[in-house]
Every structure is written in structure tokens, then in C-alpha cells.
Amino acid sequence: MSNLYEYIKMAVHNIMANKGRSFLTMLGIIIGIASVIAIVSIGEGTKNQMNSEIDDIGGGQIAISMSSDAQTAEEYITADDVEAVRELDGIEGVNVSDSYDGETTTGKGNFTLMVTGEGPDAKLLNNATMKHGVYFGENEVQEGKNVCVLSDSDAKRLFGTDDVVGMSLDVNCYGLTKSLRICGVTTQKENGTFVSYTYEGMPVTVNVPYTTMNEFTGTSDYFFSMSIQADKSLDSQSIADKVVNLLEKRHQCSGEDYFQVQSFQDIMSSMNQMLDMVTAFISFVAGISLLVGGIGVMNIMLVSVTERTREIGIRKSLGAKTSSIMLQFLAEAAILTVIGGLIGIVLGVIGGYAICSIISSSMGMIITPGISLKTIMAATLFSCAVGVFFGIYPAKKAAKLSPIEALRRN
Amino acid sequence: MEEALIRVKDLCKIYNPGENEVRALDHINLEIDKGEFVAIIGQSGSGKSTFMNMLGCLDVPTSGEYFLNGTDVSTMEDNELSEVRNREIGFIFQGFNLISNLTAIENVELPLVYRGVDRKTRHKLAVESLTMVGLEKRMDHKPNEMSGGQQQRVAIARALAAQPPVILADEPTGNLDSASSKEILEILKSMHKQGKTVILITHDNGIAAQARRVVRIIDGKIESDFINENYGKEEYVKNQLDA
């Protein structure tokens, strides 16, 4: 094996002597590797983009909802529960949110409303940025002030302008009409890539303190769900467990599973799982093209063995051993696939960037291909493996030729 | 008594054993000493090519013994035979058998590559032997850029570079014009003078007559084996052998 260098030299020599054919042989491998790399990197890029978008909106959010098994009011979440949960470590805010239908009439006409009663941390949980005024907070909630918050686009629908702080809105809900002072206008989130919705005819959302909401409905502080903003750096699952433990203790219903948890971590991981599956499937299809490429290499090597029977005979008569011939042909197949693989990696990376920039410009989102060293290493190793695997059969065939048989052929 | 370089005893090669068997070689006995210049002559189908394959360790006999340089090679495995060919035998073929995409010097270096000789030594030996056949100015030419005579000289250089004890030339002038043939034969004679053992296989009486000793094969048997009395008078005959 000390002669390995010589065999590699011979192989390179032969590849260079048949440049056109060598390139065509590599083509299958190039396309296979390039498509695998491009697909995986676009998939990774999309996933990263989705994750960061979702993380901005809902990272660290946990939703607790009542299971339908909970029948009596004693089990429902109370305002005291909310306060208790707010005191826990690692929790930045808690919100409750119950929505009811309502309606209003302004200079612009009649509108259907979705009146949502919220808690003191509503601004944080809604991830709201203020355009005008302020969001209601702890004081307004405790005192049940008649205030409300709108989004700028809803404000425009109602009044034709978003500069409406201080104006009042007559809200009819549960047969009761209240005049609410608009204390803040939020900026409607830029339409994200994956999370966005607004359409005409959708009800106008009016956010009010839940204490104010109670005046409409006539009920007191019971909630069917609450959302929690946990510290993003902590594990949401363990925080969720802590919250559920606390609630079960307060309601003395341990083990009844009345409080159900859904965290953004769950949603994200199930979405990632789905995306991974899609990527894996497409990669599998691309992998088949790689397999076909490998068979192409094998075919050409077989033809090459037949063509070079005489050369093999000469080499054997000069003292080449079976292993020498085998290594020479194996090296040739391996070098072809490795070079093909390297070209494929370069093209795949370029292709990944090109496709991502097309997607970015045509669909108005920014996706950077996620090219990892892992992917590239795996692709390289795989192409080496393909080369060696598909090189073995032709190489064996070449090495087994008897020298007189080989010399006799012309 | 010193062991002969080549000693063949009761050598048989039978193709298609069974009903339609062909006895290509039928109990051949032959000894060739170091430094001899032997022509093996026979018509096509006489078995001389089969005999040359045996002598060159390209094929193994059906039965019989073949001692080359003191070792029995008739029972060796493929890889051992490769090793023997590499060390003991320098081939010169009718069709030159150079590798077309290698230059003259790369072709000459090839047996040394398989022997595992380092690059410097290899290069030195190849240059020496190419110089010996007068091709020192054509070392970087490929076979298709050379005449038949030159190609055969490259092949001879290749056989010499490995410095084997036996030079086995199979119809070396078969594809050449008469002028080139003469050149090649002169080179073979000078190799003999330098002490190499040269075995020349041919069907041509005129060419066989250039050798010191002539062995005639007919139907797989040695028909005659005699010393060529007309061989260069100044030649000092070391080892005479009777059949």
C-alpha cells in the first residue's frame, strides 16, 4: 500500500487523459450532491427564519387552558390565581383573555367588535408596540376603568385616522352600552412571513381591562385560560409544570388534569418536525439521483475496464498485482466522485443562495440558506462512499483479468 | 554443478481436458543457462506461444515443473507470479505493448513502480536504459509520436530497466520493417554480449539463425535443439548443452 500515491497518480493521469468523459461521468454526482446541499440548506434557512419569527412573537409563551372535565366554578382560574402565578420565579407576565362579540357605530358606519377582556400584563403578552398613548396597566385593571386599546389599522377603519387617543368609543356588548375612552393605539405588526392575518370584514378588536369586561357580562373574575410570558432563556416546560402545580394546589385538584398546557416550544418543535420531514423527503428524492449518479460512475468504469483490457494485461505482465490494478481503478472511481462531490458542494451552496434570494425577492421575505458544516461533511463522505462502493465491482473485474487473456485482446 | 537459470521438466499444458483436449505442450524438457542467447522457433499452432507464456510466468502449466532461478514457479499463485514477472523477466512483445497515454520514460519506469522503487532511483534507471537504446532525446514522447522501431526500443528499455536476469522477446520484429528489425536484433545481440540471458521466440528461420542456440518446437514437442555454429566467431561459448 506504500504505492498508494502512485495509483492515485495513475488514476489522475487517466482522468486527465479523458477529460470530456470524466466530466460527463461526474455530472450525475455533481447534480446529486448539489441538489441535496441546496435543498437541505434552503430547508434549514426556512426553518431558522420561521423559528426566529415565531420566537419574536411567542417565544417563552405558555398557554394554560381549562379542560372540559372541569365543571364547577371552583375549578376555574380566578384573578387571585393570576396574581399568584405572577409572583412565581421566571415569569415575566400573565394575561387572561376572554373575548365577546359586540358592536359599535361611528361616523364610518356599523362595526362588529370583538371585545377582549385582558389582564395587567396585556401589553407584554401581546408583544404590543404603542403608536399613540399607552396600554392600560395594573391600575386600570384593578379599578375597572372604562378604557380601551385599538390597533392602528382598526382605528383607521373606525375613524379614518389612527390618532384617536382620548376619543371615546360607544361599545355595545351583552345588551349594555358603555362609552370607553381610547387610551392607546398599537402598531399593527408588520405582516410577518408566516404569521400574519388581517382582512376586511374581520371584527374590530377592542382590548379592555377584564374588570371592565365583567361589567358587560355581569360575571366576576373567572377565566377559562391564561397566557404566561416566561423568561425566554428558561425551559418553558418546567415553568409550565410549576404553574400547573401551583394552580392544582390552590384548587385542590392535583392529578385531575384540569389545567392543560400548550407552550410555544411545543408548537415550534412540532412545526420543525414537519419541516424536517419535508426536507428529509426531498433529500431522499435527491439522494436517489445521487444513487443514479453512482451507477453512472460504475457504468463508465465498467466500459473503461473493457476498453483498457490490454493496458491491464500490460501492467500485469510487468508485475502489477491484483491489488495494484484494483487500487488503480478504485482510486479512479473515488477521485471522480470526490471531485464531482466537491463541484456539487460548490454548486449546491451557490444554488441555495440563488434560490433563497429568488424566494426572498419574489415573496418579500428574507431567507438565508442554512449551510452547516455537518451537511457538507455528510455530502462529502457520502460521495466518497458512493465512489468506493460503485468502484469496487469494475475494479474487481479489472483486477481478475488473466494477463494472457488481456494481452491477447486488441 | 551450477543450477541452470531455467529448468523445465516434463512440462505439459492441456486445454479443454477431456474428449476434445488440446495438448499445446507435451512433456517439454529444457534447460537454459545464464548468459545464453536462445531462439525458440515454431510455426503458428506449434505451441511456442504457450511455451513463451509458461516461460514468462503469464500462465501456469497443467503438469510438470518449471524452475526459474532456482525456485519452482509452476505452482505459484497469481500474486506470486506477478512478483516473479516483475523481478525475473523482461518482456519484449510483438505489439510493443506500451501504454499509450504514458510517455516513453513513464512506460520504462512502470515495472519499477510496481516493484516499489523510489522515484529518484526509478528515474535514473529509466534514463540509463533509454540511453542504452539510443532514445535519450525522446524520453517525453508518447508512443504514438514514435515510429515502430522506436516504440520497440522503448519496450526493450522497459525490459532492461528492471534489470531482470531473463529477457523474453516474443516476435520482437514481427511488426517492423527490415531496417528496424535489424536494429532491434543488434540491440538484443549486444544485450547478450553484456551477459543477459536472451530468449527469442519467432517463426522466422532467418531471425532464429541470428541466435546462438536454436530450439525448434513442433506440435508441442521439442523437435531439435542445436548450437548455431555460424554465430559470431568471436563469441565465447560458455555453456554448451546437448539436447
Which residue shows C-alpha cell 390597533? A151
A21 at interface of B, judged by CB pairs closer than 8 A: no
Q: For residue A358, what is its C-alpha cell?
A: 429568488
Give the model's pLDDT for residue B233: 44
Q: Which positions ≥6 away from A373 have C-beta within 8 Å?
A: none
Residue A77's beta-bridge partner residues? Answer: A223
Q: Taking the CA atoms of A216, A170, A137 and A191 in sequence, report the sign of the dihedral they define.
A: positive
DSSP letter string, A205-252: EEEEEHHHHHHHH---SEESEEEEEE-TTS-HHHHHHHHHHHHHHHHT
CA distance B164 to chain A (A): 11
d(CA B28, CA B51): 9
A-chain CB neighbours of B129 within 8 Å are none
The residue among B59, B80, B97, B115 with the most chain A CBs within 10 A of its CB, best to mutate, is B97
Q: Are residues B97 and A13, on separate chains, in Cβ contact within 8 Å? A: no
pTM: 0.69
The distance of A383 to chain B (nearest Cα, Å) reads 28
**Rounded mean pLDDT of B189-201?**
91
ipTM of the complex: 0.89
Q: Does A311 touch chain B (CB under 8 A)?
A: yes
Which DSSP state fits B205? H
Answer yes or no: are the C-beta atoms of A404 and B58 closer than 8 Å. Answer: yes
Cα separations in angstroms, A238 against A83, A230, A261: 19, 10, 11
On chain B, the residues whose CB falls within 8 A of the CB of A6 are 113
Pairing of strands A225-230, A61-66: antiparallel
Contacting residues of B for A317, CB less than 8 Å apart? 56, 58, 85, 91, 97
The mean pLDDT of B225-234, rounded to a whole number, is: 71
Q: Which of B78, B101, B115 is facing A13, going by the closest CB pair?
A: B101
**Is B90 an 8 Å CB contact of chain A?**
no
Give contacts of B83 with chain A, Cβ < 8 Å: 319, 321
Q: Would you give the end-to-end CA distance of chain B in angstroms?
A: 17
Query: Residues A290, A32: contact at Cβ < 8 Å?
Result: yes
Measured between beta carbons, the chain A residues lying within 8 angstroms of B56 are 317
Among chain B residues, CA nearest to A16: B101
Query: What pLDDT score was predicted for residue B234?
Result: 42
Q: Do B102 and A14 touch (CB under 8 A)?
A: no
Residue B101 is nearest to which of A14, A402, A403, comparing CB atoms? A14
Position B239 scores a pLDDT of: 37
A396 part of contact set with chain B, CB < 8 Å: no
Partners of B79 on chain A (C-beta within 8 Å) are 321-323
**CA A348, chain centre distance (Å):** 21
Contact call for B111 and A6, based on CB within 8 A:
no
For residue A36, the distance in angstroms to the closest alpha carbon of chain B comes to: 36
Rg over CA atoms, chain B: 18
Stated length of chain B:
243
Q: Does A47 touch chain B (CB under 8 A)?
A: no
> Which of A2, A318, A325, A401 should one mutate to test binding to chain B, selecting the residue with the greatest count of B CBs within 10 A?
A318
Q: Does B82 touch chain A (CB under 8 A)?
A: yes
Residue of chain A minimizing CA distance to B83: A319
Which single residue is written with the C-alpha cell 474487481?
Answer: A396
Cβ pair B158:A318 closer than 8 A: yes
Considering only alpha carbons, which residue of chain B is nearest residue A312?
Answer: B99
Residues of A in contact with B96 (CB under 8 A): none
Going residue by residue through chain A (410 aa), what tens digit of pLDDT does each one get? 457 888 888 889 888 888 898 998 889 889 888 988 888 888 888 888 877 877 776 677 888 888 777 667 677 888 888 888 888 888 888 888 888 888 888 888 888 888 888 888 888 888 788 888 999 888 888 888 899 998 888 888 888 888 888 888 888 888 888 889 999 998 876 544 444 455 566 788 889 998 888 888 877 777 888 888 888 777 777 888 888 888 888 888 777 778 888 777 777 788 888 888 888 888 888 788 888 888 888 888 888 888 888 899 999 999 999 999 999 988 988 898 889 989 999 999 999 899 888 888 877 677 788 888 888 888 888 888 888 888 889 888 888 888 888 887 75
Distance CA B185, CA B211 (A): 9
Q: What is the pLDDT of residue B161?
A: 92
* pLDDT over threshold 80, residue B238: no
Sign of CA dihedral B118, B94, B193, B187: negative
Selected residue with higher pLDDT from A76 and B69: B69
Which pLDDT score is estimated for A201?
67
Residue type, A206: V
Whole-angstrom distance, CA of residue B79 vs CA of residue B56: 14
Measured between beta carbons, the chain A residues lying within 8 angstroms of B85 are 316-319
Cβ pairs bridging A and B (under 8 Å): 64
> Would an 8 Å CB–CB cutoff place B114 in contact with chain A?
yes
Amino acid (one-letter) located at A21: R
A107 in contact with B, Cβ within 8 Å: no
pLDDT digit string, tens, across residues B6-59? 999 999 999 888 888 888 999 999 999 999 999 999 998 888 888 999 999 998
- According to DSSP, the residues that pair with B200 across neighbouring strands are B39, B169
DSSP string, A343-390: HHHHHHHHHHHHHHHHHHHHHT--------HHHHHHHHHHHHHHHHHH
A262 forms beta bridges with A63
Q: Residue B148: pLDDT above 80?
A: yes
CA B59 to chain centre: 14
Q: Which of B79, B98, B100 sits opposite A322 (nearest CB)?
A: B79
From B59, B85, B99, residue closest to A319, measured CB to CB? B85
Say how far apart CA A346 and CA A134 lie, in whole Å: 52
Q: In the prediction, which pLDDT does A315 show? A: 93
Burial degree of A18 (CB within 10 A; 0-12, 13-18, 19+): middle
Please report residues of B whose CB lies closer than 8 A to that of A403. 58
Q: Which residues contact residue A52 at a Cβ distance below 8 angstroms, ignoring those fewer than 6 apart? A: none
Among chain A residues, the shortest Cα distance to B115 is held by: A319
B228 and A CB contact within 8 Å: no
Q: What is the pLDDT of residue A228?
A: 86
Asked if B163 has any chain A CB less than 8 Å from its own CB, the reply is: no
Are A38 and A351 spatial neighbours (Cβ–Cβ below 8 Å)? yes
Query: Nearest CA to CA, how far is B181 from chain A (Å)?
Result: 22
Greater confidence (A391 vs B156) lies with: B156
